[in-house]
Amino acid sequence: MSTYRFPEPWATAEIPGPRKAAIIPRPESLVAILRRANRRLLVAGSKALDRIEGVDTVELIRLLHSTKLFTIVASRNTAYRLEEVGIPTVASISVYELGDRLRDSSWTGFDGVGGYDLVGFIGFPYITLWLVLSGLKHFAPKISTISLDPYYHPHAYWSLPNVKGSEWYSFIKKVADSFGVM
């Protein structure tokens, strides 16, 4: 990954502070992280229907979905379109409302069974995710948040670095492949 050595926030000025996301250097690392988790949530954002860095984001969500690892939720404007293309979401919810629930340690999740220990995010405007991840970093200390967008997100617990679209695609693809799909 060409930008691996530059863990700067994609939006240059959005410097967070001393606690910054660890870079996920290789697909295998992400695979390992995913395997370790128990209850995984994937959140598809308000830009998930757009091409991001030239990549069809929905395609990546489909790949992630096919790993069968995730409960999937999506931003209000996104959810039904994912449903339409065959990606089931358990809820359509504002990412801020979601953040507000995630930071409540007594919240029992969308199935009423319990909270999530790993939450991946994909398909967001940079600033929206930056802020929500900040809220979670500070107030949901037990959740591992992962930015799966092709931008370094310092407020996440784990983040991809800033990468080109093609690299992003192949990264996610490799992760999905490791779980034996397609």
Partner 1 sequence: MSRRDFNLRIKKLVSDIFQAEGLEISFGRILEEWEEPLGPTPFPSITDLRRWDHILLERYKPFYMPFCDLCCLCTMGKCDLTSGKRGACGIDMPAQQSRIVLLAACIGAATHAAHARHLLEYLVSKYGRDHPIDLGGNIYVEAPIIRLVCGIKPRILGDLEDALSYVEEQIISLLAATHTGQEDSWIDFESKVFHAGMLDHVALEIADLAQIVALGYPKGDPEAPLVEIGLAAIDQSKPVILVVGHNVPSAASIVDYLVRNRMYGAVEVAGICCTAHDVSRYNPMAKIVGPLSWQLRFVRSGLPDVVVVDEQCIRADILLEAARVKAPVIATSIEKCMGLPDATSEPIDSIVEKLVSGSMPGILFLDPDRVGELAVKTALKIFPYRQKIRSLPSDEDLKTLASKCRGCRFCERACPNNLPIAEAINAASKGDFNALAYLYEICIGCGKCEETCPQRIPVHSVIIQGARKIWRNERFKIRVGRGPIQDVEIRNVGRPIVFGEIPGVIAFVGCSNYYNGGREIVEIAEEFLKRNYIVVASGCAAMTLAMAKDDEGRSLYEKYTGTFDAGGLVNVGSCISNSHIAGAAIKIAAIFAKRNLRANYEEIADYILNRVGAVGIAWGAMSQKAAAIAAGFWRLGVPVIVGPHGAKYRRLLLGRRDDENSWYVYDARTGDRVYSGPAPEHLFVAAESKEEAIVMIAKLCMRPNDTSKGRAIKLSHYIDLSKKYLGCLPDDLHLYVRKEADIPLTLKSEVLEFLKSKGWSEKPIPDPTLLPRLVRKR
**Residues found near a copy of itself in the complex (CB under 8 A):** 8, 12-13, 15, 17-18
Q: Which of 22, 35, 36, 96 binds partner 1 (CB under 8 A)?
A: 96
> Cβ 178 to a copy of itself, closest distance in Å?
27
6 binds partner 1 (CB under 8 A): no
What DSSP line would sit under 120-139, residue for residue?
A: EEES--HHHHHHHHHHHHHH
Q: Which of 69, 95, 156, 176 binds partner 1 (CB under 8 A)?
A: 95
Q: Which of 29, 91, 165, 170 binds partner 1 (CB under 8 A)?
A: 91
114 binds partner 1 (CB under 8 A): no
Interior angle at CA 13, CA 12 and CA 15, nearest 5: 100
Indicate the SS3 state at residue 95. helix
Query: What are the tokens at 100?
Result: 């507000």
Are 89 and 72 in contact by the 8 Å Cβ rule? The answer is yes
Binding partner selected for residue 132 from a copy of itself, partner 1, none, CB under the kind-specific 5 to 8 Å limit: partner 1
Query: What are the tokens at 157?
Result: 């617990």
Are 45 and 161 in contact by the 8 Å Cβ rule? The answer is no
Query: What are the tokens at 32?
Result: 């390992």
Query: What are the tokens at 142?
Result: 């037990």
7 binds partner 1 (CB under 8 A): no
Binding partner selected for residue 99 from partner 1, a copy of itself, none, CB under the kind-specific 5 to 8 Å limit: partner 1
> Cβ 159 to partner 1, closest distance in Å?
16
